[in-house]
Structure 1
Amino acid sequence: MNKHQQSFARLVTQSFSFFGYMLKNLPSIVFWGIRVKDIKLDSCHTTLPFNWRTKNPFKSIYFAALCGAAELSSGLLCKLHLAGNGNFSMLVVDMNAQFIKKANTPILMKCEDGRRVKETLAGLSKQGDVATLKTIIHGHDSHNETVAKFEITWSFKRK
């Protein structure tokens, strides 16, 4: 990890300023209580609690909260690889979700596509280059059973 990536990883896992940034720009993440458990160059794991803020009338986690935790997991992994590597824009251009099992315990979202993110960004060498990448995120309950699978496609453009 370069020094910018180390700083970014510290920021999202330990910093009160990251909480403030989320409160200002993505308040639903703060409301739902989503946290970054771990972030490395190869993976990002986020946690989503099962409580009154995330629960739907069917006594499971609201699908939008699950999607938010999944998007944060893959988005932060992409941002980690962008840190200190030039000026890029990124945007979600597609999303697919499969809800496999009722989510009624805390959920751990795992995006482990760091190598693929790095390869995709390496192909964007000159200004105006564009690429897309489909990231895969798996949501696991407290019994380590898969409750959901997400495919989030990101578009990147070198500025």
Structure 2
Amino acid sequence: EHINKIVIKYLVSFIVYMGWTEEREQDSLQDRMYTPKFLALRGSSLYKFIAPPVTTWDWTRAEKTFSVYEIMCKILKDSDLLDRRKHCFSVQSESGEDLYFSVELESDLALWEKAFQTATFLEVERIQCKTYACVLESHLMGLTIDFSMGFVCFDAATK
């Protein structure tokens, strides 16, 4: 088990996915406007770039960065598609922001899905447990997600 944790710690800094997508503009006046974006899954983060990172410095200049364990990815079926483009997926952030992406081929979509699952698995294995502050009926609460023990919701003041 100790060896597994060392291997997982080493792997989380690896790049699991890099590739071009097209992002559908949310606030566009035009109905079907897409912009090329370069996505990368590296370590605990999803990076969205306007151009591929070339240097170490480029990784700090991503257009947007998300924690993998705080976003959801959904591969869209025909009934979920917003237009005639096939091979689409959405990413929803913890803030509720929805991003909508399209890739060229079905195989690209399958590659993205597998990479996202791998990145999520590696991050869950790495963090094991995470506590969030939340409010329930005007009371400050804590929600602990422990991937080996389960979920616990507790009053923040009294624990």
**TM-score (normalised: structure 2):** 0.24
Q: Which has the higher contact order (CA 8 A, sep 6+)?
A: 1
Which of the pair is proportionally richer in helix?
A: 1
The structure having more radius of gyration, on CA atoms, is 2
**TM-score (normalised: structure 1):** 0.24
